Amino acid sequence: MKYINEYRKPSTIKKIAKEIHIAAEQIPHTVNLMEVCGTHTMTIGRFGIRQLLPQNIKLISGPGCPVCVAPDEYIDTAIALSDNTDTIIATFGDMVRVPGSFSSLEKEQAKGKDIRIVYSPLEALDIAKGNPLKKVVFLGVGFETTAPTVALVIKKASVSEIKNFLVLAGHKLITPAMEALLEDREVKIDGFICPGHVSAVIGAVPYKHLTNLFCVPCVIAGFEPVDILEAILLLIKNLSINSNSVEIQYKRAVKEDGNRKAQEAMEEVFDVVDSEWRGLGMIRESGLAIKKKYRDIDAKYGLPVKLRRSKSRSECICGDILKGKKIPPACKLFGKACTPENPIGPCMVSSEGSCAAYYKYGG
């Protein structure tokens, strides 16, 4: 298939759904499959994929939205940096409404702080070139999908000797989070639908550590309904024969070894470090920090700040939702105090968050 409409064709969707029902008859118990990609979460909701599945196949949403897992401290740091009158904060649009412990970038922007939405780190670099008397801090948030681009821009800024451009590093690595979920005895995961965007960079190899250690199959999937249903079918077939393989459904974009050039860019610019995830806590070797070689571009060192903190939102259960322990409607704030227009937690803020998907499309 070459065109997007082929991956949404009703007859193909019905055919695969029927095959899933037949295959699921071989499994006498409930199967929990977790997707760890916000785009997958939205596709599952938008196209009613849960409703197509047999009762013993359950889809649960994991920490696949980088905005949702950004911790309070990261947002608080960005806000503290914006307090400086000589500083411009440049960020992707989905970050501005994410709540920190006491405010958000959107609220601070309304107070007059210079916070600008950009569509790429290169755009932030251009802002730095055009404002030589200002410090421009780009918020480097995302998974392995965006990290290579940020790495290349950091290298470009270094070579070009653009001294007023800095990056507040906040990138996350997806497989350590998946491992942390599998180690959590309260979370029952039988298989993973793995993210296509991330896997285009890292390939299939990193998932093999998980399958070997926990005997849980993984399938790398594309983003259309047919892609996701094919991935579910492959997982069910593997589970029925007790296979813990890693398969690539999204072969039109993902190679076994991934994108070596992108991997090399990350390896040159970033160190792998322990990192805090909102709702999941500190996860070992799950984040990226800028290497000492590029420390003059690291906002953490170039612009140290004193953080203001307040108590966290105790009623928001975003942490349990990110772990797959609960679904959004289980939160007493969902659809009432917490809506896309007035989000309390990050899972409702992001367009790819679990709560936003449930609110827009239902369960």
Assigned token pair, 63? 């920490």
Q: Are 200 and 254 in contact (CB under 8 A)?
A: yes
Q: Per residue in 18-67, pLDDT tens?
A: 999 999 999 999 999 999 999 999 999 999 999 999 999 999 999 999 98
Residue 141 pairs in a beta bridge with 170
Sort residue 258 into left (φ over 0), alpha (ψ -120 to 50) or beta: left
Q: Per residue in 283-303, pLDDT tens?
A: 999 999 999 999 999 999 988
Q: Per residue in 143-179, pLDDT tens?
A: 999 999 999 999 999 999 999 999 999 999 999 999 9
pTM higher than 0.85, yes or no?
A: yes
Domains assigned to the chain: 4-63+175-248 (3.40.50.11750), 67-173+258-302 (3.40.50.11740), 318-361 (no CATH)
Sheet holding 57-61, edge to edge: 57-61, 31-35, 191-194, 218-220, 246-248
Give the chain's end-to-end CA distance (angstroms, integer).
29
Q: What is the C-alpha separation between 122 and 139, in angstroms, rounded?
A: 12
